[in-house]
Amino acid sequence: MVVTLAAEALGLAPVQAYLADLQQRQLIPLGSPAEALAVDDSAGGWAYRKQDLHIEEDGRAITVWLPLIDGAERLGVVSASTPAMDPSFLVRCRALAALLAPVITSKRAYKDSVVQRTRTEPMGLPAEMLRALLPPRTIGTPRIVSTAVMEPAYEIGGDAYDHALTTSTLHAAVVDAMGHDLSSGLTATVTMAACRNARRTGSDLNELTTAVDMALGEWLPDQFCTAVLAQLDLATGALRWINCGHPPPLLVRGSRLVSEAMEREPDVPMGLPALLTDAPRTVHQIALEPGDRVLLHTDGITEARLADGAEFGAHRFAQAVIHAASTGEPAPETLRRLIHSVLDASENRLRDDATILLLEWNPPLS
């Protein structure tokens, strides 16, 4: 209804809005019986992948495809057709896309019909609980983009991610709770809530981990989780992080994986293990260069199994990262291709939750 009213007000008809499904493989029509579109093989998919205008002509009409982007998060696409193109038509199409994106975001918070359109199968209870806590998949400004994906999309159990911006800092985290059930989801939920609560009072990285340790020790004493918590200074590119028993982050510079750039001795996981030692955690630091991409990930990525039973492994993951980064596409599309390469290689049979968060730093040229 909103799409129709907005289109009529702008003098555009016919129009069709599509939302990306949870795994970003399809574009699902919103509020109409139109067919779904493949993200990887359609005109609408091109606009979604490239986050840019795409014009299609079939001899009878011209169709304009525009991505629906709210802030930095891409939601889907909108199409509008006309028998003849003129500059005002494009202006009105862009106005429609700019109007619809924040409206769709707001409606997702309370309209199940919008959420249901992005799901292609039933969701497990732990996944439902965790996803209610998660921030948007992508956040950012012209200076920084942070984007994340989680699989198996409908059965995620103990993984979680978080990212948030202040005027000077990007805060990012990836968490992997012990197990793969509802208690794992509760552990990840308490971890993220404790981390946010401390962060919003101005706590530093060590204070964040202490807050999580105390919360898990009090409320879930038999549970623990691994994590990487990071803070990026948006002005200088100084990236600080703590590794709590987690796989090390990866640094991609240009189209090259910088080997062992962020490998450090990990500290103990958060929760009970930390309460049994007085040793302070170590804050690591690295200076990013403009255009650098950093990936935080859980071990479900490298432990995925190939069709022959072999482990996907760190080397294959590194090669997949390099290949995805070499396309020159926007960070969200790079990450979408990366997670799909892992899923396709393992025939969608993950042994554990697999989460990746990618951040890209692009400061203004001086």
Q: In what order do the strands lie in the sheet with 250-253?
A: 138-140, 144-151, 354-361, 293-297, 250-253, 256-257
Taking the model in full, what pTM does it have?
0.93
Phi and psi (nearest 5°) for 248? Answer: -70, 150
With 0-12 CB in 10 A as exposed, 13-18 as middle and 19+ as buried, what is 261? Answer: middle
With 0-12 CB in 10 A as exposed, 13-18 as middle and 19+ as buried, what is 271? Answer: buried
pLDDT at residue 298 in the model: 93
H helices of 200-312, where? 205-219, 272-275
Q: How far apart are CA 17 and CA 3, in angstroms?
A: 7
Residue-wise DSSP of 156-191: --SEEEEEEE-SSEEEEEEEEESSSSHHHHHHHHHH
pLDDT at residue 259 in the model: 85
Q: How far apart are CA 27 and CA 36, in angstroms?
A: 6
- The CA-atom distances, in angstroms, between 225 and each of 115, 215, 272, 300 are 29, 12, 9, 14
pLDDT at residue 178 in the model: 86
Q: Which two tokens stand for residue 182?
A: 């509802």
pLDDT at residue 133 in the model: 92
Q: Any residues with CB less than 8 A from the CB of 195 and at least 6 apart, and which?
A: 162, 173, 208, 211, 212, 229
pLDDT at residue 366 in the model: 63
Q: Any residues with CB less than 8 A from the CB of 25 and at least 6 apart, and which?
A: 38, 39, 40, 340
Q: How far apart are CA 84 and CA 270, in angstroms?
A: 61
Q: How far apart are CA 90 and CA 108, in angstroms?
A: 27
pLDDT at residue 309 in the model: 77
pLDDT in tens, the chain (366 residues): 677 777 766 777 788 999 999 999 999 998 777 799 999 999 999 999 999 999 998 878 899 999 999 999 999 999 998 888 888 989 999 999 999 999 999 988 888 988 998 999 999 999 999 999 999 999 999 999 999 999 999 998 899 999 999 999 999 999 999 887 889 999 999 999 999 999 999 999 999 999 999 999 999 998 999 999 999 999 999 999 999 999 999 999 988 889 889 999 999 999 877 677 778 899 999 999 999 999 999 988 888 887 777 888 877 888 888 888 888 889 999 999 989 988 888 777 777 889 999 999 999 876
pLDDT at residue 208 in the model: 95
Cβ 253 vs Cβ 291: under 8 Å: yes
With 0-12 CB in 10 A as exposed, 13-18 as middle and 19+ as buried, what is 300? Answer: buried
Cβ 256 vs Cβ 329: under 8 Å: no
Torsion of the alpha carbons at 104, 173, 176 and 268, rounded to the nearest 10: -170
Report the helix count and the strand count for the chain, using DSSP H and E.
Answer: 10, 18
Q: How far apart are CA 142 and CA 72, in angstroms?
A: 9
pLDDT at residue 346 in the model: 78
Preceding amide of 269 cis, omega within 30: no
Ordered domains of the chain (ranges, CATH): 1-118 (3.30.450.40), 125-361 (3.60.40.10)
Phi and psi (nearest 5°) for 136? Answer: -55, 150
